[in-house]
Chains A and B, each alone.
Chain A
Amino acid sequence: MPEIAGSSFRQQGVPSISWRRRITDHVMTGVAVLTVVLVLAPLVAIFGYLVYRGSGSMNWAFLTQTPKPVGEPGGGMANAIAGSVLILGIASVIGVPFGIGAGIYLAEFGRNRLGSAIRFTADVLNGVPSIVIGIVAWAILVRGHGFSALAGGVALAIMMVPTICRTTEEMLLLVPQALREAAYGLGVPRWRTTLSITLRTAASGVITGVMLAFARVAGETAPLLFTALGNTFWNLRYDQPTAALPLQIYQYANSPYDDWHRQAWAGSFVLIVLIVTAVAAVRFAVRRGTFGTA
């Protein structure tokens, strides 16, 4: 059977593979390369255009002023940037503790029915469309109370919890059992062991999960449409309608004014810089393993 030897040594020119099979092999390699090019092309196009239009439209006024009245050129998105920070702050304050807590439960106490149920629920929640979560936040916090930064923050917090919960669980389970036992052996109670030993050892991984969740919700627009609503003025109160960067981008993109289109690009640039920095920081932290105290 010459073919058996032929395949592994085809570089040496054993003439046992038919030209048709060989050409198919080359063609399929070419097709795979082509798919990579086709996938990377839009990425390059989007990033390139974003940097080109975004950095070109960036100026001091954009970062420091509030929007001008409709149709008037100039002004900026300072209030939207501040609003985004406010909303994301609320989301993190609510979402991070609950997410990490649920992750701790799953990793340390969750080898039972309830644990499986929570795991499944978290996966289901992860797949719920963001706009549906917006509806629920609207029904609970906006109906009868009015649009508010809090409602937007809660909607985003709901989206953060499943990601944080599952990564925290995964990371805690990677911590060797012996480490826990060593702590127990020293007489450290379980809660203290979990918080100061296990969670601390897994800190870099847990932070990765938090940052990923943060990056994911930072650009979310749909759940804010009818919770935070948007605002053309400064607002830093939790119970008032608040501008947010993604909302403002959406509004400006749909407007007929060139200057607003320009600002939409600038806003996208700010947003993407924020998110890419977060994702890159996570990559860096994971590779170095020096984030936190790990």
Chain B
Amino acid sequence: MPGPQPIGGTKVTPVPVPRAAALELASGGEVPDRIFKSAMTLCGLAVIGVLVLIVDELVSGSRLSWHAFGFKFFAGSDWNPVSEQFGALPFIYGTLVSSLVALILAVPLAVGVAVFTTEMCPKVLRGPLSFFVELLAAIPSVIYGLWAMFILVPLLSGYVQPFLAKTLGWTGLFAGPPYGIGMLAAGIILAIMIVPIISSITREVLMVVPQHQREGVLALGATRWEMIRVGVLRNARAGIVGGIILGLGRALGETMAVTMVIGNRPEIAKSLFAPGYTMASVLANEFSEATGNVYLSALVEIGLALFLVTIIVNALAQILVWTVTRGQPARGHA
């Protein structure tokens, strides 16, 4: 090979080299390169294609129900496959309330864990601790459900619910017979499931806060907690909110564990002890047995609504996390 002469067939060198030389030197020149690039582009386009396919199938599948009920679909609370009357309000209510309960329980815990692992904990513990919290994220939903059915629910009906009814029963949120199964159980199991997501994103966001900011606040005479509150949490606010919203997105779409403990009754009740039903659960329970086109179409429309809501929620979360970590990808799902 003659000296430092640039070799063609690649885009590194701006010096044009005769095509023949390039083909001779490299085992395969521009043509395989072009094929390779097209193949990879195709894989990338497939990702977009899948999303388009999802939207297309959901929209075309729900057309029948949309024509039959219109916006009333989301306002009606009557779900009757026999008379073909479908209103999704109880499911929307169940999804929102169970997710809200989950957030109320999970957010303080997740932020606490993140603060502890980044700011307080000895370095030795940091690795194992985050590993264990990540392990929570790796447990399949159906196993959470199994555990909740046989451990959490008896615990709730035997101890927690009677206690709540006695002390907070006057609010009306904790009234009624303590079956265990119901909105509260669903909220608790969801909370356990979304803590890892929220805490891992919060941890990431907290670690982006520059060290000198902590030092600066400490130098002004702050205690450690004051340093965390003023110097760290306040700066990371947007990112933490992003993590919380990402957790919400997960809670909204969670299916199996919720289906196993929420009671699956399409009713709107004020008490958290009462059974409910979520959008994902009704799909899990009724989709494979749905007879009749309107019934199926109504279920697909619930799927479409769920899809849209989770996409909006996730996009919002991504943007918030991005503004804090400046374009570094959020690794919440991994």
Contacts and interface: CB of A to CB of B under 8 A. Distances in A.
Interface in B68-124: 108-113, 115-117, 120
A124 B288 CA distance: 26
A259 interface: no
Contacts of A225: 284, 287-288
B72 to A, nearest CB: 22
Contact of B25 (A105, A170, A187): A187
A29 B224 contact: yes
A281 B151 CA distance: 30
Contacts of A285: none
A127 B28 CA distance: 41
A220 B140 CA distance: 7
Interface string A131-147: 11111101110000000
Given A35-B116, A132-B54, A125 B142 contact: no
A110 interface: yes
A218 to B, nearest CB: 7
Given A39-B133, A45-B151, A181-B12, A114 B44 contact: yes
Q: Which one of B35, B54, B117 has the greatest number of beta carbons of chain A within 10 Å?
A: B54
B143 A271 contact: yes
A174 interface: no
Interface string A66-110: 000000000000000000000000000000011111101110111
A264 B149 CA distance: 12
A261 B199 CA distance: 33
A135 B287 contact: yes
Nearest to B50: A158
A185 B8 CA distance: 9
Contacts of B120: 29, 32
B57 A105 contact: no
Interface residues of B, number: 104
Nearest to B150: A261
A28 interface: yes
Given A7-B219, A225-B288, A190 B36 contact: yes
Nearest to B333: A126
A135 B221 contact: no
B185 interface: no
B140 A21 contact: no
A114 B333 CA distance: 23
Nearest to A254: B260
Contacts of A32: 112-113, 115-116, 120
Interface in A258-282: 261, 264-265, 268, 271-272, 275-276, 279
Interface string A163-201: 101110010000000000100111111111110000000
Contacts of B160: none
Contact of B132 (A40, A184, A191): A40
B47 A272 contact: no
- Which size class do A's interface residues fall under? 35 or more
A50 B143 CA distance: 9
B58 interface: yes
A183 to B, nearest CB: 9
A25 to B, nearest CB: 4
B223 interface: yes
Interface string A105-127: 11011100011011001111111
A184 B10 contact: yes
Contacts of A294: none
A115 B318 CA distance: 17
Interface in A1-21: 1, 3-4, 6-8, 10, 16-17, 21
A249 B11 contact: no
B284 A124 contact: no
Contacts of B208: none
Given A105-B43, A108-B40, A275-B140, A38 B109 contact: yes
B260 A253 contact: yes
A7 B144 contact: no
Interface of A: 1, 3-4, 6-8, 10, 16-17, 21-22, 24-25, 28-29, 31-36, 38-40, 42-43, 45-46, 49-50, 97-102, 104-106, 108-110, 114-115, 117-118, 121-136, 138-140, 158, 161-163, 165-167, 170, 181, 184-194, 209, 212, 215-216, 218-222, 225-226, 229, 246, 249-250, 253-254, 261, 264-265, 268, 271-272, 275-276, 279, 283
9 contacts: A10-B223, A17-B221, A35-B110, A35-B116, A39-B109, A124-B314, A187-B25, A190-B9, A216-B138
**In the complex, the 3 A-B pairs of residues with the closest C-beta atoms, listed nearest first:** A219-B140, A129-B253, A35-B112
Given A104-B40, A127-B253, A140-B53, 17 more contacts: A4-B219, A4-B220, A17-B221, A21-B223, A24-B225, A39-B110, A104-B43, A132-B58, A136-B57, A170-B329, A185-B12, A192-B26, A221-B256, A250-B260, A253-B145, A275-B138, A275-B140
